[in-house]
Homo-oligomer: A and B are copies of this chain.
Amino acid sequence: MINDRHENIAKVCKALSHPARVLILEYLKGIDTCICGDIVNILPLSQSTVSQHLKQLKEAGLIRGDIEGTKTCYCIDKHVLENFKKTVNGL
């Protein structure tokens, strides 16, 4: 009964089931790329907590993290986001 599509929608929705992660996604949408510290500066959360949120967004495929030296540059995976939008539209 439950198929891969249900699982996939649930997976992405779970990643977006916390307001901080929704905000992070929108923030990334606006600036293309940023590092963890940037988000720590705009949210009242510790560095470790923000890192965890980023990890969850990454595991859901919504964002990517490119390591550059000591920094990690995060950006949206537009393809995954668009695909999610299409799937939600199909609901």
Contacts and interface: CB of A to CB of B under 8 A. Distances in A.
A81 interface: yes
Please give the count of copies of this chain that the complex contains. Answer: 2
A23 B43 contact: no
Nearest to A27: B1
A10 B19 contact: yes
Contacts of A14: 13-14, 17
A67 interface: no
A7, A23, A91, most chain B CB atoms within 10 A = A91
Given A9-B16, A10-B16, A14-B13, A43 B84 contact: no
Contacts of A89: 85, 88-89
